[in-house]
A and B are shown apart, each in its own frame.
Chain A
Amino acid sequence: MAISVEQFGRTYGTFTAVEGLSFEVASGEIVGLIGPNGAGKTTTLRALAGILRPTAGLVRIDGYDLVEHPLEAKRRLAFMPDEPHLFEYLTVEEHLRLVARLYTVDEFEPRARALLEELELNGKERALPGELSRGMKQKVVIACGLIRNATTLLFDEPLTGLDPLGIRRMRTTIAARAAAGAAILLSSHLLHLVEEVCSRVIIMDHGVKVADATVDELRSHADLHGAGTNLEQIFLKVTGRS
């Protein structure tokens, strides 16, 4: 399994953000992580990216324990956060170059060119983050994540700030990476996107997993019978907000 999470838990002082979370994501699979605000999605993604240390449980990337073998695990994953944290003094191209050096990416030039083209960042190679719009910054973060051949991609609200064309391209990009064999975990509040792109959905609420199935399975689940046909209606029913 590309991503393996066993009984993961994370507390902040006395507050439990996530508790007893277990799931797996296989190569080529796109899994949606959804839940209301404060459900623990971002905490989970940050822990999977190696930013937060779990207070309980195990997190493995391609079989490497993120706590025991952090470097091996991190080499295999790419995390694209919802808030683009860029170095304000490095240009777009230099961000890509920096990531390429850190992850030992071969053939940087053609890869970078292709990515800039794919994400419509042509002509912005020498631009500093201060000269970019929110959406473009988001694209730079995504480009930094995609420039290397990561086997595991973690997206936290990947479409924030993107224009309609950018959103469409992003959907295509995510699907293409999964088709190429990457395991993708995607957190989003855009349920129609999750429904369209993801092969499986994990619903979290109050720090625990309340559902883990395909949308069809959720629809046919006895408890959810009559909730509705789309993911939004199912989500509202599962989280008790209908």
Chain B
Amino acid sequence: MLGASLYIIVCSARNRLRVRLRRLREPRYLLGGIAGLAYIYFSVFARMRPSAGRQARRRAVGGSGGDAEVPVLALAGPAVVGVVLLGATALAWFAPVGSGLLDFSESEMQFLFPAPVSRRSLLIHRLMRSQVGIFFGSVVAGLLTSSASGLSQLRMSLAVWMLLTVSKVCFAVITLARARLASRGGGALLVAWLPVVVNLAAVAAVAAAVFRVFSGGQVTGVREAFGRMVAAATTGVAGVALWPFVVVARPLFAPWPGPFLRALGGAAMVLAALVAWMLYSDDACQDAAAAAAERRARGPARRAATYRVRATGWTLAATGRPEGVFVWKAAMQTLRLVDGRGVLRAAALLVALAVAAVSVGRPADVAAVIGVCMTGGALFTVLLAPQVLRMDMRQDLRHLEVLKTWPVKAPAVLRGELAWPGTLITAMVWAMIGVATLLSSAVFADVSGAVRLSVGAASAILAPALVFAQLVIHNGVALMFPAWVPLGTQRPRGLDAMGQRLILLGGTWVLMAVLMLPGAIAGGGVWFALRGFAGPAAFVPAALLCTAVVGLEVLVATELLGPAYERIDIMSVERSE
């Protein structure tokens, strides 16, 4: 099996590389590849030089202050990472996610499961296969280390590789052990639940120790906090409970060569123990893999199941403008998209912010915190939501085979596709601007009410212009260069795909500036003319004119993009899929 496994890994990697290299013959991938390489060079390799310069400067100055914290970090790092790892393993027992190590692919299940191969061999095969991704991640982590020394980067790569591999195996062990929790019979049940109990006991011991050291008195600085964490993690029962986790994290912080190699050896021992445990649990492998396969097989249905049919009270009228069909269609999608976790996350974030504001001893500033968050949120939503929310042509290109048969004029299709996401994003932005304006007195106490109100109103008026301008650009790009645009939830991988995204992003910003310019000039002119007697209220008519101009441009753009929709070749869309 080892030979077959190696054969699969080598052939897959080789063929993937060949495909990536072969597609560089196409200009879009070649350009993307060049842009991706340039990005990697400037963001990783070019950073090393200033880093070396910084080190030289630090040496010249004598390096006080910051340097003193390095040993503290080296000492406390393993403890902090160990605590995080312990918490993650405890969560893994209850979280409804499985280890990727047991996610056998369709082809693996079709070819390897019926083959005369033991379950242990299958697990070893999966472990070997996972090494390709882990190796790549480790190399990237090493390269990102701000150090000019190749040895230091190698050290970091090895440490990250060890940490990722141990984590992978550890979560596979937990997934396998979790499958046994429903065992029948007293003895079997006790054995099955023992790791959970031990893990939770360890969490309790560490939590108690951390609470004890931090409740002892006011923490005066980061250095002292680190020191207390080390004390909690290395003494008593907590020290014993955290030991394997600290050992795994130690190579990340150990200096080269002696301490690092010793730390790596210790982590390797933990890895060996975990691998042995995983292989011992192989009887649960088939069940866990079958469950993973079932999840995989349910993939599209599961995605569909995230939509829930509910009474919306909105039935599509029998007649009306064709744009209305697209609006209704996208609205149904939104209303049926049940993502309770997203809402919970947002709520948790708000609560955390409020708690943070209160815990720093200034509950009166909660309004200011929320106000700032809403202002930032509105900005982020205006600038990023049109790119992220792809409930438009970028999504419907997958349904082009259906759309193209509909007797609807191309500009109407495009307007219909833009209408709902644009309205939705605008509504979100308006809500945030509204809250931010209400709380603006807490944030901008020095600014007059008239200015705050005018800027708030002008921002709300400008928001749809910015949103629709971006949407029309994104959709225009999707129509004119369908092969460049990731469809729906697609995330193409590779250096060339990354480069393509960068080029698209840059292009979008340039087009956005071009599209906004006439409106900005017209609006600026109005503001300049009215500011003398209207004061800050002049922002409002200026924003109105700017929005009207951009709105007109958007309408003209939809008409101009009509022929692009008519010409769009389904083959170029299918090829990009």
Contact = CB atoms under 8 A, between A and B. Distances in A.
Interface of A: 12, 46, 49-53, 70-72, 74-75, 77-79, 81, 85, 87-91, 94, 97-98, 100-105, 108, 126, 128-131
B309 A91 contact: yes
Contacts of B301: 130-131
Contacts of A12: 571
A138 to B, nearest CB: 14
Nearest 7 interchain pairs by C-beta? A130-B304, A74-B407, A89-B333, A51-B404, A89-B307, A75-B407, A130-B301
Contacts of B213: none
A130 to B, nearest CB: 2
A94 B332 CA distance: 10
Interface in B435-477: none
A152 to B, nearest CB: 11
Given A71-B407, A101-B325, A126-B309, A51 B304 contact: no
A145 to B, nearest CB: 9
Contacts of A87: 329, 333, 399
Contacts of A75: 407
A97 B405 contact: no
B407 A51 contact: no
Contacts of B569: 52-53
A89 B306 CA distance: 9
B406 interface: yes
Interface core residue of A101, A103, A126 (most chain B CB under 10 Å): A101
B404 A98 contact: no
Given A49-B405, A50-B405, A90-B329, A108 B318 contact: yes
Contacts, number: 93
A71 B409 contact: yes
A152 B325 CA distance: 24
Given A74-B405, A74-B407, A128-B309, A101 B316 contact: yes
B307 A51 contact: no
B336 interface: yes
B50 interface: no
B320 A101 contact: yes
Contacts of A91: 309
B107 interface: no
A223 B402 CA distance: 41
Interface string B313-345: 001111110101100110011001100000000
B570 A85 contact: no
B566 A70 contact: yes
B400 interface: yes
Contacts of A131: 301, 304-305
B532 interface: no
29 contacts: A46-B401, A46-B570, A49-B404, A50-B404, A50-B405, A51-B400, A52-B571, A74-B406, A78-B405, A79-B405, A85-B398, A87-B329, A87-B333, A88-B300, A89-B304, A90-B332, A100-B318, A101-B316, A101-B318, A101-B319, A102-B406, A103-B407, A104-B319, A105-B318, A130-B300, A130-B301, A130-B303, A131-B301, A131-B304
A53 B567 contact: yes
Given A70-B566, A81-B401, A87-B399, A102 B325 contact: yes
B408 interface: yes
Contacts of A53: 566-567, 569
Contacts of B329: 87, 90, 98
A74 B407 CA distance: 5
A98 B327 CA distance: 11
Given A53-B567, A85-B402, A128-B307, 18 more contacts: A52-B571, A53-B566, A53-B569, A74-B405, A75-B407, A79-B405, A85-B398, A88-B300, A89-B336, A90-B329, A94-B316, A98-B329, A101-B325, A102-B408, A108-B318, A128-B336, A130-B302, A130-B307
Contacts of B407: 70-72, 74-75, 102-103
A85 B399 contact: yes
Contacts of A130: 300-305, 307
Contacts of A94: 316, 332
A72 B408 CA distance: 10
A128 B304 contact: yes
Contacts of B304: 88-89, 128-131
The residue in B316, B328, B567 that gathers the most chain A C-beta atoms within 10 A of its C-beta is B316
Nearest to B301: A130
A42 to B, nearest CB: 10
Q: Among the interface residues B325, B398, B409, which one has the most CB atoms of the partner chain A within 10 A? A: B325
A97 B566 CA distance: 25
Contacts of A108: 318
B570 A51 contact: yes
Given A46-B570, A52-B569, A102 B322 contact: yes
A98 B305 CA distance: 21
Contact of A98 (B300, B303, B325): B325
Nearest to B315: A97
A78 B336 CA distance: 29
Nearest to A141: B402
Contacts of A49: 404-405
A136 to B, nearest CB: 13
Contacts of A89: 304, 307, 332-333, 336-337
B567 A88 contact: no
B485 to A, nearest CB: 18
Contact of B307 (A70, A88, A98): A88
Contacts of B332: 89-90, 94
Contacts of A79: 405
A69 to B, nearest CB: 10
Contacts of B317: 101
Nearest to A52: B570
Nearest to A100: B318
Contacts of B325: 98, 101-102
A108 to B, nearest CB: 6
Contacts of B337: 89
Nearest to B567: A53
Interface in B392-425: 398-402, 404-409
B408 to A, nearest CB: 7
Interface string B535-577: 0000000000000000000000000000000110111000000
B331 to A, nearest CB: 10
A223 to B, nearest CB: 35
Contacts of A101: 316-320, 324-325
A89 B139 CA distance: 41
A131 B317 CA distance: 26
B365 to A, nearest CB: 42
Contacts of B566: 53, 70
A52 B569 CA distance: 6
Nearest to A49: B405
A125 B494 CA distance: 43
A140 to B, nearest CB: 12
A51 B571 CA distance: 10
B4 to A, nearest CB: 31
